[in-house]
Structure 1
Amino acid sequence: MTWREREILNVYYRFSPSVWGNSYASEVVRTAIKLAQRWLPDFPLVVRTRPANAAARRVAEKSGFERRPDLDCEFVIYSLDW
């Protein structure tokens, strides 16, 4: 996708509340990072989440994403390799 005039990979996931807390999001994000670095290394990865979504913010931070307040919009932004 193009965002801020750059081609990026947007890391997005959604799980049913019945499976929250099982580390599935962390596992998906770690796998997405590995695949992106192997197959699409020229594209930065971006996590865009609502400010109130503390769980998604923790997943991004634990997965190595850097908080990017300079890129914030209605979402809180984290990136890898921006």
Structure 2
Amino acid sequence: LLKTHKQPEGVLCVSSQKALEIFPVFANRLEYSKEEKKLVITLHNLQQSDNDVYVCAAVLNNSFLFSVSQRGTMVMVKG
């Protein structure tokens, strides 16, 4: 999962080998569940700095190339 517009950065990385990396800015604020090809991600304690468009991406053969989904989810925190 990537933040893409305001400040591009990684959020969560899950591989087919079950390896997991939650990037530090979302430590203790993210949970996920994985069933076969379905991944559910929940972000908690959202902050205004979390405002962005979030997209899923696939790393190809451990390279820097990735295929980004055409659709994303816009998150806007008010308050």
Considering fraction of residues, name the structure with more helix.
1
TM-score, normalised by the number of residues in structure 1 = 0.34
- The structure whose residues are more often strand, as a share, is 2
